[in-house]
Structure 1
Protein backbone atom coordinates (compact mmCIF):
# COMPACT_ATOMS: atom_id res chain seq x y z
CA UNK A 1 0.00 0.00 0.00
CA UNK A 2 2.84 2.39 0.82
CA UNK A 3 4.25 1.85 -2.69
CA UNK A 4 0.94 2.89 -4.25
CA UNK A 5 0.82 6.04 -2.15
CA UNK A 6 4.42 6.95 -2.93
CA UNK A 7 3.82 6.34 -6.63
CA UNK A 8 0.68 8.49 -6.60
CA UNK A 9 2.51 11.30 -4.81
CA UNK A 10 5.41 11.08 -7.27
CA UNK A 11 3.03 11.18 -10.24
CA UNK A 12 1.15 14.11 -8.73
CA UNK A 13 4.35 16.07 -8.13
CA UNK A 14 5.58 15.27 -11.64
CA UNK A 15 2.32 16.52 -13.15
CA UNK A 16 2.49 19.68 -11.05
CA UNK A 17 6.06 20.37 -12.08
CA UNK A 18 5.24 19.79 -15.74
CA UNK A 19 2.31 22.19 -15.44
CA UNK A 20 4.51 24.86 -13.84
CA UNK A 21 7.14 24.38 -16.50
CA UNK A 22 4.60 24.85 -19.29
CA UNK A 23 3.29 28.06 -17.74
CA UNK A 24 6.78 29.49 -17.41
CA UNK A 25 7.73 28.60 -20.98
CA UNK A 26 4.81 30.66 -22.33
CA UNK A 27 6.35 33.81 -20.87
CA UNK A 28 9.69 34.87 -22.36
CA UNK A 29 12.45 35.10 -19.80
CA UNK A 30 14.93 37.94 -19.69
CA UNK A 31 17.59 36.06 -21.69
CA UNK A 32 15.12 35.47 -24.54
CA UNK A 33 14.19 39.16 -24.56
CA UNK A 34 17.88 40.15 -24.53
CA UNK A 35 18.65 37.72 -27.37
CA UNK A 36 15.85 39.21 -29.48
CA UNK A 37 17.15 42.73 -28.78
CA UNK A 38 20.70 41.67 -29.70
CA UNK A 39 19.44 40.13 -32.94
CA UNK A 40 17.60 43.34 -33.79
CA UNK A 41 20.73 45.40 -33.06
CA UNK A 42 22.82 43.10 -35.25
CA UNK A 43 20.32 43.44 -38.08
CA UNK A 44 20.44 47.23 -37.75
CA UNK A 45 24.25 47.17 -37.75
CA UNK A 46 24.24 44.94 -40.83
CA UNK A 47 22.17 47.51 -42.72
CA UNK A 48 24.77 50.18 -42.01
CA UNK A 49 27.75 48.03 -43.04
CA UNK A 50 29.80 48.43 -46.19
CA UNK A 51 28.75 45.03 -47.49
CA UNK A 52 28.16 44.97 -51.24
CA UNK A 53 24.53 45.27 -52.24
CA UNK A 54 25.09 43.17 -55.35
CA UNK A 55 26.43 39.60 -55.36
CA UNK A 56 30.17 39.36 -55.91
CA UNK A 57 31.42 36.82 -58.43
CA UNK A 58 35.03 35.65 -58.74
CA UNK A 59 37.10 32.62 -59.66
CA UNK A 60 39.17 31.48 -56.70
CA UNK A 61 41.80 30.06 -59.05
CA UNK A 62 42.43 33.53 -60.52
CA UNK A 63 43.29 35.35 -57.28
CA UNK A 64 46.96 36.30 -57.47
CA UNK A 65 49.31 36.62 -54.55
CA UNK A 66 49.45 40.34 -55.32
CA UNK A 67 45.64 40.57 -55.00
CA UNK A 68 45.73 38.58 -51.78
CA UNK A 69 48.65 40.33 -50.09
CA UNK A 70 47.49 43.86 -50.89
CA UNK A 71 43.95 43.56 -49.56
CA UNK A 72 42.87 45.17 -46.29
CA UNK A 73 43.56 43.12 -43.15
CA UNK A 74 39.95 42.13 -42.46
CA UNK A 75 39.31 41.17 -46.07
CA UNK A 76 42.62 39.32 -46.17
CA UNK A 77 41.49 37.26 -43.20
CA UNK A 78 38.32 36.24 -45.03
CA UNK A 79 40.29 35.49 -48.20
CA UNK A 80 42.86 33.44 -46.27
CA UNK A 81 40.11 31.39 -44.65
CA UNK A 82 38.41 30.83 -48.00
CA UNK A 83 41.65 29.89 -49.78
CA UNK A 84 42.82 27.62 -46.98
CA UNK A 85 39.46 25.87 -46.71
CA UNK A 86 39.25 25.40 -50.47
CA UNK A 87 42.78 23.98 -50.67
CA UNK A 88 42.22 21.68 -47.67
CA UNK A 89 38.95 20.43 -49.13
CA UNK A 90 40.51 19.85 -52.54
CA UNK A 91 43.28 17.86 -50.85
CA UNK A 92 40.69 15.83 -48.93
CA UNK A 93 42.01 17.00 -45.57
CA UNK A 94 39.19 17.18 -43.06
CA UNK A 95 41.12 16.95 -39.77
CA UNK A 96 42.43 20.38 -38.75
CA UNK A 97 44.08 22.12 -35.82
CA UNK A 98 44.04 25.82 -35.11
CA UNK A 99 47.85 25.86 -34.89
CA UNK A 100 48.14 24.08 -38.23
CA UNK A 101 45.75 26.50 -39.92
CA UNK A 102 47.53 29.51 -38.45
CA UNK A 103 50.94 28.23 -39.60
CA UNK A 104 49.62 27.48 -43.08
CA UNK A 105 48.18 30.98 -43.43
CA UNK A 106 51.40 32.62 -42.19
CA UNK A 107 53.41 30.49 -44.62
CA UNK A 108 51.07 31.35 -47.52
CA UNK A 109 51.25 35.08 -46.75
CA UNK A 110 55.05 34.92 -46.68
CA UNK A 111 55.03 33.03 -49.99
CA UNK A 112 52.72 35.61 -51.56
CA UNK A 113 54.86 38.53 -50.42
CA UNK A 114 57.89 36.91 -52.05
CA UNK A 115 55.99 35.77 -55.19
CA UNK A 116 53.38 38.41 -56.07
CA UNK A 117 52.78 37.00 -59.57
CA UNK A 118 51.98 33.49 -58.28
CA UNK A 119 48.42 32.30 -57.77
CA UNK A 120 47.27 32.64 -54.17
CA UNK A 121 45.67 29.22 -54.20
CA UNK A 122 49.07 27.66 -54.98
CA UNK A 123 50.45 29.29 -51.83
CA UNK A 124 47.83 27.45 -49.77
CA UNK A 125 47.92 24.10 -51.57
CA UNK A 126 51.26 22.99 -50.16
CA UNK A 127 50.28 23.66 -46.54
CA UNK A 128 46.60 22.66 -46.61
CA UNK A 129 47.09 19.02 -47.57
Structure 2
Protein backbone atom coordinates (compact mmCIF):
# COMPACT_ATOMS: atom_id res chain seq x y z
CA UNK A 1 0.00 0.00 0.00
CA UNK A 2 2.83 2.34 0.84
CA UNK A 3 4.47 1.37 -2.41
CA UNK A 4 1.27 2.16 -4.29
CA UNK A 5 1.03 5.51 -2.51
CA UNK A 6 4.62 6.31 -3.47
CA UNK A 7 3.90 5.39 -7.07
CA UNK A 8 0.74 7.56 -7.05
CA UNK A 9 2.65 10.50 -5.58
CA UNK A 10 5.50 9.97 -8.01
CA UNK A 11 3.01 9.87 -10.90
CA UNK A 12 1.30 13.02 -9.62
CA UNK A 13 4.67 14.74 -9.24
CA UNK A 14 5.69 13.59 -12.71
CA UNK A 15 2.41 14.88 -14.15
CA UNK A 16 2.83 18.19 -12.31
CA UNK A 17 6.43 18.44 -13.54
CA UNK A 18 5.31 17.64 -17.10
CA UNK A 19 2.58 20.32 -16.88
CA UNK A 20 5.14 22.82 -15.57
CA UNK A 21 7.52 21.85 -18.39
CA UNK A 22 4.69 22.44 -20.93
CA UNK A 23 3.97 25.87 -19.37
CA UNK A 24 7.67 26.75 -19.50
CA UNK A 25 7.89 25.58 -23.12
CA UNK A 26 4.77 27.60 -23.99
CA UNK A 27 6.22 30.67 -22.28
CA UNK A 28 9.51 30.12 -24.11
CA UNK A 29 7.62 29.89 -27.44
CA UNK A 30 5.74 33.11 -26.62
CA UNK A 31 9.01 34.85 -25.76
CA UNK A 32 10.59 33.60 -29.00
CA UNK A 33 7.59 34.91 -30.96
CA UNK A 34 7.82 38.28 -29.19
CA UNK A 35 11.56 38.42 -29.85
CA UNK A 36 10.97 37.67 -33.55
CA UNK A 37 8.27 40.38 -33.64
CA UNK A 38 10.59 42.88 -31.97
CA UNK A 39 13.38 42.00 -34.40
CA UNK A 40 11.02 42.55 -37.32
CA UNK A 41 9.89 45.87 -35.85
CA UNK A 42 13.50 46.96 -35.26
CA UNK A 43 14.35 46.08 -38.84
CA UNK A 44 11.32 48.00 -40.13
CA UNK A 45 12.26 50.96 -37.94
CA UNK A 46 15.81 50.81 -39.31
CA UNK A 47 14.49 50.80 -42.88
CA UNK A 48 12.17 53.71 -42.09
CA UNK A 49 15.03 55.58 -40.42
CA UNK A 50 17.25 55.10 -43.48
CA UNK A 51 14.42 56.23 -45.79
CA UNK A 52 13.85 59.31 -43.65
CA UNK A 53 17.59 60.03 -43.77
CA UNK A 54 17.62 59.67 -47.55
CA UNK A 55 14.57 61.91 -47.93
CA UNK A 56 16.08 64.45 -45.57
CA UNK A 57 19.30 64.46 -47.58
CA UNK A 58 17.31 64.88 -50.80
CA UNK A 59 15.34 67.76 -49.28
CA UNK A 60 18.55 69.38 -48.05
CA UNK A 61 20.04 69.10 -51.53
CA UNK A 62 16.87 70.58 -53.04
CA UNK A 63 16.94 73.43 -50.50
CA UNK A 64 20.58 74.15 -51.40
CA UNK A 65 19.68 74.15 -55.09
CA UNK A 66 16.80 76.54 -54.43
CA UNK A 67 19.05 78.79 -52.33
CA UNK A 68 21.62 78.86 -55.13
CA UNK A 69 18.92 79.66 -57.69
CA UNK A 70 17.55 82.41 -55.45
CA UNK A 71 21.05 83.91 -55.22
CA UNK A 72 21.39 83.74 -59.00
CA UNK A 73 18.02 85.45 -59.42
CA UNK A 74 18.99 88.17 -56.95
CA UNK A 75 22.16 88.82 -58.95
CA UNK A 76 20.10 88.94 -62.15
CA UNK A 77 17.60 91.31 -60.53
CA UNK A 78 20.42 93.59 -59.36
CA UNK A 79 21.96 93.53 -62.83
CA UNK A 80 18.60 94.30 -64.45
CA UNK A 81 17.94 97.11 -61.96
CA UNK A 82 21.32 98.66 -62.73
CA UNK A 83 20.72 98.20 -66.46
CA UNK A 84 17.29 99.83 -66.14
CA UNK A 85 18.83 102.77 -64.29
CA UNK A 86 21.40 103.12 -67.06
CA UNK A 87 18.72 102.99 -69.73
CA UNK A 88 16.64 105.58 -67.88
CA UNK A 89 19.68 107.83 -67.62
CA UNK A 90 20.38 107.39 -71.35
CA UNK A 91 16.73 108.10 -72.15
CA UNK A 92 16.78 111.23 -69.99
CA UNK A 93 19.93 112.44 -71.76
CA UNK A 94 18.30 111.77 -75.14
CA UNK A 95 15.19 113.68 -74.04
CA UNK A 96 17.38 116.59 -72.93
CA UNK A 97 19.28 116.54 -76.25
CA UNK A 98 16.02 116.37 -78.17
CA UNK A 99 14.60 119.29 -76.20
CA UNK A 100 17.84 121.22 -76.67
CA UNK A 101 17.89 120.39 -80.38
CA UNK A 102 14.26 121.45 -80.77
CA UNK A 103 14.93 124.73 -78.95
CA UNK A 104 18.00 125.32 -81.09
CA UNK A 105 16.04 124.58 -84.27
CA UNK A 106 13.31 126.95 -83.14
CA UNK A 107 15.85 129.73 -82.47
CA UNK A 108 17.46 129.11 -85.84
CA UNK A 109 14.07 129.25 -87.52
CA UNK A 110 13.25 132.50 -85.70
CA UNK A 111 16.60 134.01 -86.65
CA UNK A 112 16.39 133.00 -90.30
CA UNK A 113 14.90 135.53 -92.67
CA UNK A 114 11.47 134.60 -93.84
CA UNK A 115 11.42 133.21 -97.29
CA UNK A 116 9.19 134.82 -99.74
CA UNK A 117 7.86 132.62 -102.45
TM-score by length of 2: 0.30
**Structure 1 or 2: larger helix share?**
2
Structure number with greater Rg is 2
Higher relative contact order (CA 8 A, sep 6+): 1
